[in-house]
Structures are given as C-alpha cells and as structure tokens.
Structure 1
Amino acid sequence: MKYTDLTGIKPKKKCCRSKPRCKRCPLVLHKVHKAELTGVRGKALEKVFKRARKS
C-alpha cells in the first residue's frame, strides 16, 4: 500500500482487535496520522503502518 493511499482511508467504527490489525483499524490509522503530522513521509510512513498493524 502506498503512503499516499494511507492518508485518505476512512477508519472503521470499532476495532476488531484481530492480529494483524486490519488496514482500516482506527488505532492503526491514528498512529499513521500522528506520524504524518510529525513529518514522516514516504517509505518511513509505510514502515509505521506495518509496525502499527503488528501491535
């Protein structure tokens, strides 16, 4: 998934807490959005996305 796609995803209403977390999980998208606000871009943002899904 490209980092440009990560910014436009709408989160689900409730987290299912499965492992790995789904791509639309509110927690995952919150962590990606937070990283984006701190200035993370490109491949580094994709790494944040992958790491957030593992947690």
Structure 2
Amino acid sequence: MSHDILRRHLRDLIDAYNFAQWLKTLKGLIPNEFICKRWTSEPNGFIITPIDQIPGLNT
C-alpha cells in the first residue's frame, strides 16, 4: 500500500470517529432534530421558531 492510501484510510477512520462522537453528544440526533426537540421542550429559550429556519420547500 502506498502512503497516500494509508493516509486516506486514516483520515476516513478519524472522520468516522469524530462524527460518531458528535452524534453521541447530541444523543444520536442530527442537529435539526436536536434543535426542534429542544424547542418543543423549552420554547421560551428561542427568539425565532427553528422550524422556519430549516432549508427546503416552504409548504
């Protein structure tokens, strides 16, 4: 194996580890889910409705 392949594998491993730690911090939720869940339990802590800020179709 070349050094470039080993570097790529190591970078992928570190990225996967960091991503898993990040999800563990948010209790397994993606950021939008975490914010919406927090908004439903503590709506006074937000200035604007976070659901309106989620990108996508406005339907």
**Superposition TM-score, scaled by structure 2 size:** 0.29
Structure with greater Cα Rg: 2
Higher relative contact order (CA 8 A, sep 6+): 1
Identify, as 1 or 2, the structure richer in helix: 2
